């Protein structure tokens, strides 16, 4: 094996180690994964309530899709193949969280949810946005360095 081939293998190994460390750092304090999963459960229960009690099927389906997509994209980010892949999935999760915020507000303003019903959900959404935004900012700094 030539020196050039050995250097290429060494560079690849270092990249894998750095990406693994990044993912492990993220997984140590998996607050966002746990919170997004718990939020998805709340979304599914809210969807069932809206369908069964309020007979609302269109907006609630949009809420179900965006609200459960947050955690799914967080999981995909954890399994990302690179820092860029991780960041891309995290960005999608952030956008889905914004969309979920929209649907909850719309359901509230159209009287399918009371202010009291939506307040806790909106607080959770805002917390998710802050956490994901913070991770994105950290990742952006790491990608640019």
* Reported confidence tier of residue 76, pLDDT bands at 50, 70, 90: very high
Q: At what angle do helices 58-78 and 83-109 cross, to 10 degrees?
A: 160
Q: Is residue 58 part of a domain?
A: yes
Instruction: Tell whether 98 is covered by a domain.
Output: yes
Closest C-alpha to 44, from 106, 98, 100: 100
Average pLDDT over residues 36-63: 98
Quick check: 26 pLDDT over 60? no
Binned at pLDDT 50, 70 and 90, residue 144 comes out as confident
Eight-class DSSP state of 6: H
Does the reported pTM lie above 0.85?
no
Examine residue 48 and state whether it is found in any structural domain, yes or no.
yes
In a domain, 60, yes or no: yes
Residue 52 lies in a domain: yes
The mean per-residue pLDDT over the stretch 18-36 comes to 70
Q: Which residue segment(s) compose the domain that 49 sits in?
A: 29-144
CATH number for the domain spanning 57: value is 1.20.1440.60
The answer as to whether 5 is a domain residue is no
Q: What is the pLDDT of residues 94-124, one digit of tens each?
A: 999 999 999 999 999 999 999 999 999 999 9
Whether the predicted pLDDT of 6 surpasses 70: no
Tally of domains within the chain: 1
Residue 23 falls within a domain, yes or no? no
Q: Residue 63 falls within a domain, yes or no?
A: yes
User: 32-38, long-range: CB within 8 Å, 24+ apart, which pairs?
Assistant: 32/74, 32/128, 32/131, 32/132, 32/135, 33/71, 33/74, 33/75, 33/78, 35/124, 35/127, 35/128, 35/131, 36/70, 36/71, 36/74, 36/93, 36/128, 37/71
Q: For residue 81, what are its two tokens?
A: 């193949």
| pLDDT of amino acid 89 | 97
The predicted structure's pLDDT at residue 129: 98
Q: What is the pLDDT of residue 14?
A: 60
Q: What is the mean pLDDT of the chain?
A: 89
Residue 39 has pLDDT above 90, yes or no: yes
Contacts of 65 by beta carbon, 8 Å cutoff, 6+ apart: none
Which positions ≥6 away from 127 have C-beta within 8 Å? Answer: 35
Residue 21 pLDDT: 56
Contact between 48 and 105 under an 8 Å Cβ cutoff? The reply is no
pLDDT band at 11 (very low <50, low <70, confident <90, very high): low
């Amino acid at each position: 094996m030539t020196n050039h081939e050995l250097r290429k293998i060494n560079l690849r190994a270092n990249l894998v180690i750095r990406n693994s460390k990044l993912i492990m750092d993220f997984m140590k304090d998996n607050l966002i994964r746990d919170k997004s999963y718990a939020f998805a459960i709340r979304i599914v229960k809210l969807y069932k309530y809206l369908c069964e009690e309020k007979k609302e099927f269109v907006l609630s389906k949009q809420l179900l899709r965006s609200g459960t997509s947050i955690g799914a994209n967080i999981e995909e980010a954890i399994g990302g193949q690179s820092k860029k892949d991780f960041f891309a999935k995290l960005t999608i999760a952030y956008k889905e969280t914004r969309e979920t915020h929209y649907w909850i507000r719309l359901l509230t303003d159209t009287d399918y949810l009371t202010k009291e019903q939506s307040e806790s959900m909106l607080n959770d959404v805002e917390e998710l946005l802050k956490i994901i935004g913070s991770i994105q900012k950290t990742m952006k700094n790491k990608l640019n360095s």
